[in-house]
Every structure is written in C-alpha cells, then in structure tokens.
C-alpha cells in the first residue's frame, strides 16, 4: 500500500520553514542595525547647513506678454561640519526663490566635492518667468512699501556621501530659508532683515 504523509507532518514542515525564514530575517535585520549603529558611532554624521550671505536683484520687470521676468544673484555658504564625512554635490541641484506660493526664479547648484569640516562659498544666478505678472508685480510693490518682503529660498541638492574611501548611494538635501528683505530694487544689495533655515535628508 502507498504510504501517505499525514497533514500533521506537512504542517510541521511548513511551520519549521516559516520559523527558519523569520529567524533569518531577524538575524539579517540585527546585522544591518548593528552595522548602522557602528557606522553612526564611528562617523557621527551631521546634516550640512547653509546660510544666505547676500541677495542681489539684477532684473525684475514685466514683459509685453504680462509675464514677470526675474533675475536674482544669491551668495550662500555651505558648511559641512562632519570630521570624517565628505559630500559629493551631484548634477541636478536646484536653488529657487519663491514669493508666497509663486516661484520667481531658479538656478543650478554647481557640481563639486566638499571635504571634511569644509566651508564653501557659492554664487548662484537664478532666472525665471512667471505668469500673471501684473498682479504679482502690484502685490510686490505694495509689500515693498512696508519694508518687509517675505521670500522663501528652497534648496534641492542630490548628494553622495563619502565614508572613508566608500562612496554611498545618492541622497537629497532638501531645505528652505525663510527670508525677510527690505526691498526688491534692482542692481542694489538687498538687506536681509531675518533668515530662518531648516534642512533634512531624503533617501
């Protein structure tokens, strides 16, 4: 007579497989967690920070099609506070200036490598055209009468982290600096009355 395996034997085998799989996953997660913990203790990573040094408006005018053309020049300082971590700023980084929910202009962050505890000065030119320019220009002019114009400078920078000789996968540094400036006069150095910058990393 053919021998039939009981459902109890089959169930026991499946139970063992599930237990082995779960045990293996827990072990792998433990190894990954321990490795991450060791790397954190060794390298003590900190998020780089930025500050806006100056803002100059080269051009701000209405075009014939009623779009608003803007050209800003921004000087920023990028600070890498890490003692053992280098940062590769990859191609595709963007810097943009917004008024309320309207993007006035944007420009490219240059590709470069920033070493340990390095401070780098960057000059970024930003240009842009915005629709409904007449309404926006009128609002900006009214705001300028108060001497306090709120602007939002946003940063989106793809970076790769260097740990020793190891170059890790790309991350993104996202941030914004809430600025209050005194004027939007062209060809004059704008006074930055207030600045509040916040940044985060995105995988």
Model pLDDT for residues 50-94, shown as the tens digit of each residue: 999 999 999 999 999 999 999 999 999 999 999 889 999 999 999
* Alpha carbon distance 163, 77 (integer Å): 23
* Alpha carbon distance 36, 168 (integer Å): 13
Above 60 in pLDDT, residue 7? no
* Closest of 88, 130, 129 to residue 109, by C-alpha: 88
Strands of 66-118, DSSP E: 68-79, 85-89, 94-99, 102-108, 112-114
| pTM beyond cutoff 0.95 | no
pLDDT confidence of residue 151:
96
Q: 131: burial class by Cβ within 10 Å (0-12, 13-18, 19+)?
A: exposed
Average pLDDT, the chain: 84
* Alpha carbon distance 85, 29 (integer Å): 25
């Amino acid at each position: 007579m053919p021998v039939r395996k009981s459902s109890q034997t089959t169930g026991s085998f499946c139970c063992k497989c599930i237990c082995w799989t779960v045990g293996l996953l827990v072990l792998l997660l433990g190894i990954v967690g321990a490795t991450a913990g060791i790397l954190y203790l060794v390298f003590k990573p900190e998020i780089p920070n930025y500050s806006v040094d100056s803002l100059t408006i080269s051009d701000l005018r209405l075009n014939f099609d009623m779009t608003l053309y803007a050209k800003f020049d921004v000087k920023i300082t990028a600070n890498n506070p890490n003692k053992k971590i280098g940062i590769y700023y990859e191609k595709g980084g963007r810097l943009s200036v917004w008024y309320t929910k309207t993007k006035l202009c944007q420009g490219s962050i240059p590709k470069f490598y920033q070493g340990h505890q390095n401070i780098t000065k960057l000059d970024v030119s930003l240009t842009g055209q915005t629709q409904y320019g007449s309404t926006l220009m009128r609002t900006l002019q009214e705001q300028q009468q108060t001497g306090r114009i709120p602007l939002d400078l946003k940063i989106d920078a793809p970076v790769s982290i260097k740990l020793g000789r190891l170059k890790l996968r790309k991350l993104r540094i996202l941030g914004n600096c809430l600025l209050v400036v005194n004027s939007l006069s062209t060809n004059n150095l704008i006074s930055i009355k207030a600045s509040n910058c916040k940044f985060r990393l995105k995988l």
